[in-house]
Amino acid sequence: MPSSNRRVTQQDIARMTGVSQTTVSIVLNERDDAAVRIAPETRERVLQAIRRTGYVADPIARRLAAQRNRFLGVFTYEPVFPAGLGDFYHPFLVGIEECAESIGCDLLLFTSAPVIDGRRRIFSQDNRLRLADGCILLGRWLDPQELARLIAEGQAFVSVGRRDDAGGPVPYVGADYPTATAAQVRRAAELGHRRIAYVGEGAGPESHADRYRGFTTAATEAGVTGVRLRYTDGVLGELRAQGCTAVFVEEFADGALLAAEAGRQGLRVPEDLSFVALGDPTRPASTDLDFTGYRIPRREMGWQAVEVLSAILDGTGGATQRLLPCEPVTGATLAVARA
């Protein structure tokens, strides 16, 4: 028996049981080797020695043998740590953590990336991406050039949020904004709204472009007039001048501010002006209104991003691009259009 102050090794188990170290390794990993047939009694003898000595396999050695560290990286293009319970990114991180735990992986947070031109960058002189088996990318805006480089270098990654091709298909788990937005437009049309407004950029990040695409497509199909306006101090006056009776806000917080301004100008929500929020608040928003709209499946997106990354690493196949449905919220800010 090895001395009590030394870690038991596979060689110790092999000597104790009179077998080769290869045989011990095969038994430990619960696999069959075509070149080595292990008799049941030999396997049991090795297992008894393992139980008797309390042998624990070296996790680093086992990971190296499998060519996996069981570390998954998380890179954020925007500061998200620490994340409070009310923070937009918190549910994503919860889903990532829970799924990583369920598959026996640790998370490595890449927090030292340099900020260039006001944005974080994955690639730098000291980038440590290869410490992890693969990486989850999180942020409203992802650099297309960096995505293209990740693809070109064959690095395993998954984006939380749909991304356009960048020199090849980008693996992602996103929210189905077009379908969710279109459903709200159809609901407004059913309630008699004939002129509706989209307040937001409607371009730039894919999440904004997807919302606007769903808005314009559904408005055309429903035979209603849709206009796009950017959020400014005078946007409420533009809405009234154009005769809009329902407002679809890209950013929840902008909707809260706009509804408050409507109230100060004597407009009732939703009797005089209806509002639809296209997603959850990405920044603090103070309002007592129960906004009609939909919720983004943030926790599930984080969870499934880890699932997709794990499948890529294991080579088990399956869809590497997923869009998840958003949860509709009835709320109390969308009503029948005023006469």
Q: Would the CATH topology of 71-175+299-326 be identical to that of 177-295?
A: yes
CA distances from 185 to 41, 78, 276, 317 (A): 70, 31, 9, 36
Question: How many Å apart are CA 326 and CA 295, to the nearest integer?
Answer: 6
User: Which CATH code is given to the segment(s) 177-295?
Assistant: 3.40.50.2300
What residues contact residue 234 under an 8 Å CB cut-off, 6+ apart?
none
Q: What is the mean pLDDT of residues 81-110?
A: 85
Q: Is the pLDDT of residue 63 over 60?
A: no
How is residue 204 written in tokens? 């730039």
Q: What is the CATH number of domain 71-175+299-326?
A: 3.40.50.2300
Q: What is the fold of 10-64?
A: 434 Repressor (Amino-terminal Domain) (1.10.260)
Mean pLDDT of 64-78: 75
Look up residue 290 and give its two tokens.
């129960």
Q: Are 338 and 245 in contact (CB under 8 A)?
A: yes
- For the chain, the domains span 10-64, 71-175+299-326, 177-295
- Please state which of the ranges 7-16, 141-150, 160-169, 202-211 shows the lowest mean pLDDT: 7-16
Share of the chain above pLDDT 90, in %: 55
**Over pLDDT 70: what percentage of the chain?**
86
